[in-house]
A = this chain, B = another copy of it.
Amino acid sequence: MVLPPDATLADVGEFGLIAALVEQFGTDDQVLVGPGDDAAVLRIRHGHVVVSTDLMVEGRHFRRDWASAEDVGHRAAAQNLSDINAMGGRGTHLTIGLAAPADLPAAWALDFARGFSQECAEVGATVVGGDLTRADQVVISVTVLGRCTQAPVLRSGAQPGDVLALAGRQGWAAGGLAVLGRGFRSPRVLVEAYRRPRPPYAQGQAAAEAGATALIDVSDGLLAEAGHVAVASGVAIDVRRDAFEVPEPLHAVGAALGADPMEFILAGGDDHALLATFPGTGSVPEGWQVIGAVAEGEGVTVDGASYDGSTGWTHF
């Protein structure tokens, strides 16, 4: 379907846009009924199905002037696929709810869907349904189904004596967001890290197979997520600053904005890195970096002391 370049959602109409969107999405042999009926129908092998839902709100989780529609599509898919990664599984099927003003360019919705679909292709996942309606601001709701080939790894299994480890880039997206917030567009590598996160999709299952005792993805900030693990597991977690080599672009941003670059690493989300605990350094698989330790007690410390900077994102 070819849309006029300046067509809005109101011009194209619900069913016209849905038809154009569905063309963006592929299918797979588990999808018996895809988009277009009252519900999608999936053929599921006996086993564990993992389910997660996330919302993204314009002006809060993304800005249309800070990221292209395709970027927002990549981010929306990545954020959800990452939740399945954080259980030690892999996303398989997704639904998208899109609420948007009537004057939203239809091309924005199509570009969003293309980016979303491209990100899903990274793990072989398929969009199987959705809903489209009108609202004052763009709200994107995604639900992802996934599979674990072994027992899912929860937040609650960390044990005193475990080591804390990280997979994936951390702090890059927060650095990118900070420069965008000041009206800059560089360092380009950080802005791109914010616009198109690269979650370590292979590392969730790798951690599970290596015997990770707890696993979570970093979306609210590294220390905040360590805090979730500490509370759920009933343990204390200490993060070591010297475990991180601050990448050059974060040094540059810190200097330009008068900020401590370590803040981006300790409080940043949006990279969708994975944080895990393992029974000992010997069990930490390749691609993971030991950044701290688990002990008896409660709370999160940095280098053994309480941390007084921001620990991450607050929703209300």
Q: CA of A166 to CA of B45 in the docked complex: distance in angstroms?
A: 34
Q: Is the CB of B86 within 8 A of A141?
A: no
Q: Which residues of B contact A13 (CB under 8 A)?
A: 314-316
Interface flag for A96 (CB, 8 Å) = yes
Count A-side interface residues using an 8 Å CB cutoff: 71
Partner-contacting stretch, out of A33-41, A288-296, A302-310: A33-41
The answer to whether B102 touches A316 (Cβ under 8 A) is yes
For window 1-46 of A, CB contacts with B under 8 Å fall at 9-10, 12-14, 17, 32-33, 36-46
- Among A144-152, A178-186, A256-264, the stretch that binds chain B is A144-152
Residue picked from A45, A53, A152, A155, most chain B C-beta under 10 Å: A53
Q: Mask for A79-122, Cβ within 8 A of B = 1, else 0?
A: 00001101101000101111100100000000000000000000
Chain B residues lying within 8 Å of A54, measured Cβ to Cβ, are 97, 131
Collect the chain B residues with CB atoms within 8 Å of residue A210's CB: none
Does the CB pair B316–A83 fall under 8 Å?
no
Cβ of A137 under 8 Å from chain B: yes
Contacting residues, chain B, for A135 (C-beta < 8 A) = 55, 57, 60, 137, 139
Tell me whether A39 and B146 are in contact (CB under 8 A).
yes
* C-alpha spacing A42/B89, complex, angstroms: 13
Please name all residues of chain B whose beta carbon is closer than 8 Å to the beta carbon of A316 when the two chains form the complex: 9-10, 12-14, 17, 102, 134
